[in-house]
């Protein structure tokens, strides 16, 4: 009897951000194939009886090719095992899930996708910034700055003209180049930028700046997210009620 594969989102790092379903799947997995960015705290939740493989990459250095990952998933499932393919963030966002889904379908392997908290949401929550805001940022664009050889450059102008908040994955270390490209595409130099390194982990770092000064920020440890847009500048506003509304509230409120 063939086994089953679960493409599981591990979230941005904090083990408490795992979904209950992800935790349940890890608890019954016979085999776990995990990305390099999955934290040791999350891997500690995997049963000692499971076979655990690190199949991830760091800084573009692949330890296992995508073809090999596909073969491991299919091979273990054909052998009757329950396989958890554990990915950082959400498996469907910049996680090569499309390749893995295609391989599982081609091999006629039963599979299920377990969503996770993607890095943009973890970073925004950590920095306490908004990603959308009525009348200011009507959309959110998730953009990877890591481009493979031969891929066309990002069409920044269209994204900027949409008014979307830009959540940049894998921005690299050359913040000055990124700032220049966005400026040349028409983004205002005063646009707020928030950098979040190792979001939701104990090593988390947060920097706030503007597009004009982005290039002066020293590179932060990977993985880093950069959130760019007017909505982040307005985050936190409205937390205090206007005086008229505040004084109209009853002195004592009961549930």
Q: Which of 14, 73, 170, 225 is catalytic?
A: 170
Q: Spot the catalytic one: 14, 35, 73, 225.
A: 35
The pLDDT score that the predictor gives to residue 62 is 62
CB 187 within 8 A of CB 211: yes
pLDDT confidence of 244, banded at 50, 70, 90?
A: very low
Q: Which of 79, 114, 149 is the last residue before a domain boundary?
A: 114
Q: What is the pLDDT of residues 13-49, one digit of tens each?
A: 999 999 999 999 999 999 999 999 999 999 999 999 9
76 and 158 fall within a common domain: no
CATH of residue 71: 3.40.1010.10
DSSP 216: G
Note the pLDDT of residue 150: 72
20 and 100 within one domain: yes
Q: What confidence tens digit (pLDDT) does each residue in 208-220 have?
A: 999 999 999 999 9
| 230 vs 246: CA distance, rounded Å | 27
Provide the pLDDT confidence category of residue 152 given band limits of 50, 70 and 90: confident
Q: For 156-193, what is each residue's pLDDT tens digit?
A: 999 999 999 999 999 999 999 999 999 999 999 999 99
Last residue in a domain, options 83, 114, 145: 114
* 99: annotated active-site residue: no
What pLDDT shows up at residue 240?
A: 35
Q: Catalytic residue among 21, 30, 36, 57, which?
A: 57
Angle value at C-alpha 56, between 50 and 61, nearest 5 degrees: 150
If one compares 252 and 240, the residue with the highest pLDDT of the two is 252
Domain housing 220: 119-234
**Does residue 29 lie within any of the structural domains?**
yes
Say whether both 107 and 125 belong to one domain: no
Longest distance between any two alpha carbons in the chain, whole Å: 68
Integer Cα distance of 171 and 143 in angstroms: 9
Q: What is the pLDDT of residue 97?
A: 96
Average pLDDT in the 1-20 region? 96
Give per-residue pLDDT as tens, 70-118.
Answer: 999 999 999 999 999 999 999 999 999 999 999 999 999 999 999 999 9
DSSP 71: H
Omega before 223 within 30 of 0, i.e. cis: yes
Identify the pLDDT of residue 71. 97
pLDDT of residue 149: 66
Q: Six-digit token pair at 158? A: 């269209």
Lowest mean pLDDT among 3-12, 89-98, 163-172, 234-243: 234-243
Cβ atoms within 10 Å, residue 186: 10
pTM of the complete model: 0.87
DSSP 89-147: B-TTSSS-HHHHHHHHHHTT-EEEEE----HHHHHHHHHT--S-BTTTB--EEEEE---
Task: Establish whether 170 is a catalytic residue.
Answer: yes
For 54-78, what is the mean pLDDT? 86
Same domain, 217 and 196: yes
Q: Which region among 5-9, 84-88, 107-111, 143-147 has the lowest average model confidence (pLDDT)?
A: 143-147
DSSP code string of 39-65: -HHHHTTS-TTSEEEE--EETTEESS-
pLDDT band for position 255 (cuts 50, 70, 90):
low
H/E segment holding residue 6: strand 4-9
Between 85 and 153, the higher pLDDT residue: 85
Q: Decide which of 114, 135, 157 is a domain's last residue.
A: 114
**Residue 107, domain member (yes or no):** yes
DSSP string, 164-214: PEEEEES--S-HHHHHHHHHHTT--TT-EEEEEESTTSTT-EEEEEETTTG
User: How many beta carbons lie within 10 A of that of residue 47, not counting itself?
Assistant: 12
**What angle (nearest 5°) sits at the alpha carbon of residue 46, between those of residues 223 and 76?**
95
């Amino acid at each position: 009897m063939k086994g089953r594969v679960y493409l599981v989102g591990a979230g941005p790092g904090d083990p408490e951000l795992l979904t209950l379903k992800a935790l349940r799947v890890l608890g019954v997995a016979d085999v776990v194939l995990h990305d390099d960015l999955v934290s040791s705290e999350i891997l500690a939740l995997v049963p000692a009886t499971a076979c655990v493989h690190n199949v991830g990459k760091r800084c573009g250095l692949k330890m296992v090719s995508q073809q090999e990952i596909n073969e491991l998933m299919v091979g273990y499932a054909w052998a009757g095992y329950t396989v958890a393919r554990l990915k950082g963030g959400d498996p469907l966002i910049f996680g090569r899930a499309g390749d893995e889904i295609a391989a599982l379908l081609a091999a006629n392997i039963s599979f299920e996708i377990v969503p996770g908290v993607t890095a943009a949401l973890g970073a925004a929550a950590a920095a306490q910034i908004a990603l959308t805001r009525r009348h200011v940022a009507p959309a959110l664009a998730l953009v990877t700055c890591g481009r493979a050889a031969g891929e066309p450059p990002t069409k920044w102008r269209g994204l900027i003209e949409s008014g979307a908040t830009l959540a940049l994955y894998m921005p690299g270390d050359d913040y000055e180049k990124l700032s220049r490209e966005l400026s040349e595409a028409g983004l205002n130099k005063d646009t707020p930028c928030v950098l979040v390194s190792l979001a939701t982990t104990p090593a988390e770092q947060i920097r706030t700046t503007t597009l004009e000064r982005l290039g002066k920020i020293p590179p932060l440890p990977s993985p880093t997210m950069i959130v760019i847009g007017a909505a982040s500048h307005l985050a936190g506003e409205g937390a205090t009620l206007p005086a008229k509304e505040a004084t109209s509230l009853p002195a004592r409120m009961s549930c």
